[in-house]
Amino acid sequence: MIRAFVCFLVAVTAAPTAHALDYPDTPRGPVVDDYFGTPVPDPYRWLEDVDSPQTRAWVEAQNALSLPFLARLPEREALRRRLTELWNFERYEVVEKRAGRYFFRRNDGLQNQSVLYVQDGRKARPRALLDPNLLAADGSVALTDYEVSPDGRWLAYATATSGSDWNEIRVRDIATGKDGPDHLVRIKFSSIAWTRDAKGFFYSRYPDPPEGAAAGTFDDLAHQKLYYHRVGTPQSEDLLIFETPQEPKWGFVPEVTDDGRWLVITIWRGSENAYRVYVKDLGDPQRPRLDAPVIKLVDDFEAEYALIGNVGSVLYFRTSQGVERGRIAAVDLADPDRTWRSIVPEQADTLRHALFAGDGIVALYMRDATSRLRRFALDGTPRGEIALPGLGSVPDLNFGGVQIRGQFGDPELFYAFASFNRPATNYVYDLSKNRGAVFHPLKLRFNPDDYVTEQVFYPSKDGTKIPMFISYKRGLKRDGQNPTHLYGYGGFDIPLTPTFSVPNLVWMERGGIFAQANLRGGGEYGRAWHEAGTRERKQNVFDDFAAAAQYLIAQQYTSPRHLAISGRSNGGLLVGATLNQHPELFAAALPAVGVMDMLRYHRFTIGWAWASDYGTAETEEGFKYLYAYSPLHTIKPGTRYPAVLVTTADHDDRVVPGHSYKYTAALQHAQAGDAPILIRIDIKAGHGAGKPIGKLIEEEADKLAFMRYYTGGHSAPARH
């Protein structure tokens, strides 16, 4: 059987069709699970064992089919060249200022990983501080996080290999650029928080597996503990700061206030935006009391709390407590009653982020998924708005966090701004003079003014108005013949805002339309909007996405034979579910690293944490609504499905690749039409963060060529 997997042959012509394909043999096993009296077959259960010889052979066989097929698509090589040209521009991430120095990541264009630079003054020449490209010849090691010590001497930084969520932390001397002996492991979902004396930092890690523990007998993601690491000492000497042995699935994010007085421990359970907040009074910042007792400031999981900073004993937070769209509140730890008071009440727009900067607060709001920056005094008095360049957003960083930085007492505010036709550009704003300027000008190989974006609002199935951005090259004709790429996510309180993408620009450059729908389940409009797309209400998200497609068709932007859909992770689930429910609406579908088996997703790696959005099949109610839309379980044999390109990676330890493997096998088995069902499996890659530019270009060239061909961008696609 293994030999059959590896040694089959495939013929691919210059204009491939599904008739040329001979899918790898994928044996169907006898597994049947019983869910509350309902038998559910799971014939591809064996593909969940991603490291077995049989699965590895299947992966090789599928790639041996898909990669030559994609390579021979008519425009593939031209698209790869154009992606390379347009990706080759100098770009930066937002500046962070510490101890008078400026730190930022820069990519000269085609570097696999961005390099961390330090600038010793506003007019000083930047120097490379940490180049991840030197850590692995193939660019597979990424810098995932870094924190500069308060005195500017040390850099604590985290790296990950092959896209894994597992991190390792090291400490580098900023003056010499050399690493010390520090090497911390077993780290996942942690931050780094220095004490004010710059002698060490707090971080979270998971315990080592017991010696000799058999595979599958040890939960890698249980019993996270909070530690303090002193610079220059071995990890074995790290001091245990906090744990909750009675709650093995709780995790901890440490933060230290800028004055060094307070350690704030945010406790999370799963992916819900609801946290407990515990505090330790470290006392003298130069001699922090690490064994100080814990103050349970918020002792339930009812709302979101995000630390902004402190003034003495008063802590400021961004919170959803008691409101839908967020507010800023403060509590005085010296007050025995610890009464919360509102600083900036809830507004019509959604509060996304807030920080201390200058002598007040800067808050980032969203209005219909676009950014607004507003200033407030510490007592909440409005101080006006910081004008942004247009319809766009202050984007998220690749590894989390919003691209805006500032410090209390420092008038310099740094932020990035991006839109569908403009890459993220760094700005600096002088809060004392109320004026800003570009900090890092960009040199582009295209004219942003050649492209336009409009925002529309369309009705979903139940009448709810859904926003959607539609971007295209100026002069486009709405004749129903335009190749169109519709993208969505709709989950986990995460908003989709205007963001620049080189592949999307190449798509528009060739006459295509890019549409991004802001579906329920996301974070665009606060708590109710998010909850309307969760658990038993998840079908709303798929209805919103299908309605976006129907709007684009009805308004003559495109037609079903010219329309492709895509999404990643939870968005891969979105694509799979919507495709299964409406195969007639689309010419192509590209689900990436998707959650496809909704009955078993919670059994793998961090999957259990998504139950706040999805629920689980452990309850009868959860089973019923999950089974009704689960992409793996709603595939119907004998259906004429459109062209499908599934993408995943063999090292994805967030959404394990078994999801995509099983879904692809089931879809290949069920397909009754002529369109191909392909899976592209990246090797030595993970969920997406930190993927080398070289790998990105190859993958995006394949995806664009596939969409172009099957939406008629190159020539009329095969009928299906």
Catalytic residues: 569, 687
| Residue type at 109 in one-letter notation | G
Token pair recorded at residue 710:
């099957």
Q: Which helix (H) or strand (E) holds 351?
A: strand 350-357
CB 667 within 8 A of CB 701: no
Of the candidates 355, 431, 430, 433, the residue with the CA atom closest to the CA atom of residue 394 = 355
Helix (H) or strand (E) run with residue 647 in it: strand 643-649
Q: What number of other Cβ atoms are within 10 A of residue 128's Cβ?
A: 12
Determine the Cα–Cα distance for residues 495 and 503; give it in Å rounded to an integer. Answer: 20
Q: Are 624 and 617 in contact (CB under 8 A)?
A: no
Kindly report the backbone phi and psi dihedral angles of residue 657, in degrees, each rounded to the nearest multiple of 5, phi listed first: -65, -15
Burial of 216 (0-12, 13-18, 19+ CB in 10 A): exposed
Give the number of other CB atoms < 10 A from CB of residue 540.
21
Residue 584: partners with Cβ closer than 8 Å, 6 or more residues away: 560
* Separation of alpha carbons 183 and 187, rounded Å: 11
DSSP string, 373-390: EEEE-TT--EEEEEPPSS
Integer CA distances (angstroms), 482 to 458, 473, 485, 561, 632, in order = 19, 11, 10, 10, 31
> Helices 53-71 and 693-710 meet at what angle, rounded to 10?
60
Output the CA–CA distances (angstroms, integers) from residue 573 to 199, 437, 496, 541, 560, in the order listed: 45, 41, 16, 11, 20
Task: Report the amino acid identity of residue 246.
Answer: Q
d(CA 641, CA 590): 12
Q: Which two tokens stand for residue 612?
A: 């706040």
Helices first, then strands: H and E counts in the chain: 11, 39
Q: Specify the amino acid at residue 480.
A: G
Cα separation, 661 vs 656, whole angstroms: 9
What is the rounded CA–CA span in Å between residue 257 and residue 68?
Answer: 54
CA-only gyration radius of the chain, Å: 25
Q: Are 708 and 83 in contact (CB under 8 A)?
A: no
Helix axes 570-581 and 539-554, enclosed angle (nearest 10): 70
CA separation for the pair 174, 154 (Å, rounded): 6
Q: Which of 218, 300, 288, 237 is nearest to 260 (CA)?
A: 288
Q: CA–CA separation, 148 vs 200, rounded Å?
A: 11
Contact yes or no for 319/298 (Cβ under 8 A): no
Distance CA(598)–CA(627), nearest Å, equals 7
Q: Which amino acid is at 335?
A: D
Enumerate the β-bridge partners of residue 255: 264
Question: Cα–Cα distance between 685 and 670 in angstroms, integer?
Answer: 29
For helices 502-509 and 693-710, give the axis angle rounded to 10 degrees: 30
571, 592 contact by CB (below 8 A) = yes
